[in-house]
């Protein structure tokens, strides 16, 4: 397959920007929803892992092992075909599949950052009359979140790129736009190069936003 000329790629880029922008918006939507759900899933299983209760720790470990041991595309297909009787749309099948997958990795991120906080801070909070839950919410978690921000940013980027698997169940996001247009126009390489530019832009955008948030939190410290 010959590489298309730069002028041709630029011409097609501007001719098709409207349809790619729609695909990019859908990609951002499914990524944002899945990451938001994954954060809550991750926090929940992180608390199970640090609970000190063997049964709860086993449940969390089993979940994380299940996610790590199976391909993401299989997980998405299970959500998609397993929820057909519930009339769940492709969007929510992908969002829940990505959330289920990313939640395991976010759980490990939160577990590590929570356990990295000096145990003396929990004892100090308890000595001031705060409950364990209140100390965790007011003292431990804010610090853990600051430390978790860089790896969370990386996980957000991974989630964004993983959303391209939604094309396999027919969701018309960025990658599906590129492959469909490429097949219709018999010009696959041009559209793959174009969609790569869109993904690079989105990754840059997420990295910049995470960097700004890191700076804001460091100033507040």
Domain ranges of the chain: 6-217
Q: How confident is the model at residue 2 (pLDDT cuts 50, 70, 90)?
A: confident
Cβ neighbours of residue 169 closer than 8 Å, sequence gap 6 or more: 76, 77, 80, 90, 93, 94
pLDDT tens-place string over residues 76-132: 999 988 876 777 888 999 999 999 999 999 999 999 998 888 877 777 777 777 777
Give me the pLDDT at residue 221, please. Answer: 52
Q: Does domain 6-217 match CATH 1.10.3720.10?
A: yes
In the chain, % of residues over pLDDT 70: 98
Cα–Cα nearest to 181, from 5, 22, 7, 3: 22
Q: Which residue has the higher pLDDT, 87 or 174?
A: 174
Is the distance from CB of 93 to CB of 76 less than 8 angstroms? Answer: yes
The rounded distance, in Å, linking the Cα atoms of 49 and 58 is 8
């Amino acid at each position: 397959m010959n590489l298309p000329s730069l002028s041709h790629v630029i011409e097609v880029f501007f001719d098709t920007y409207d349809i790619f922008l729609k695909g990019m918006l859908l990609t951002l939507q499914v990524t944002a929803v899945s990451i938001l759900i994954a954060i809550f899933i991750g926090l929940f299983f992180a608390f199970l892992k640090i609970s000190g209760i063997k049964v709860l720790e086993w449940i969390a470990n089993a979940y994380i092992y299940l996610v790590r041991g199976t391909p993401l595309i299989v997980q998405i297909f299970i959500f998609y075909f397993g929820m057909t009787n519930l009339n769940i749309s492709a969007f929510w099948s992908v969002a829940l599949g990505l959330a289920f997958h990313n939640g395991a990795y976010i759980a490990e991120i939160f577990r590590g950052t929570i356990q990295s906080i000096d145990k003396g801070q929990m004892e100090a909070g308890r000595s001031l009359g705060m409950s364990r839950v209140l100390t965790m919410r007011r003292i431990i978690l804010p610090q853990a979140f600051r430390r978790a921000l860089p790896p969370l940013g990386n996980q957000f980027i991974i989630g964004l790129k993983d959303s391209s698997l939604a094309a396999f169940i027919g969701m018309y996001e960025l990658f599906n736009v590129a492959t469909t247009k490429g097949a219709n126009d018999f010009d696959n390489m041009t559209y793959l190069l174009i969609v790569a530019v869109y993904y690079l832009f989105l990754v840059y955008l997420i990295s910049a936003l995470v960097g700004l948030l890191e700076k804001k939190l460091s100033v507040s410290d």
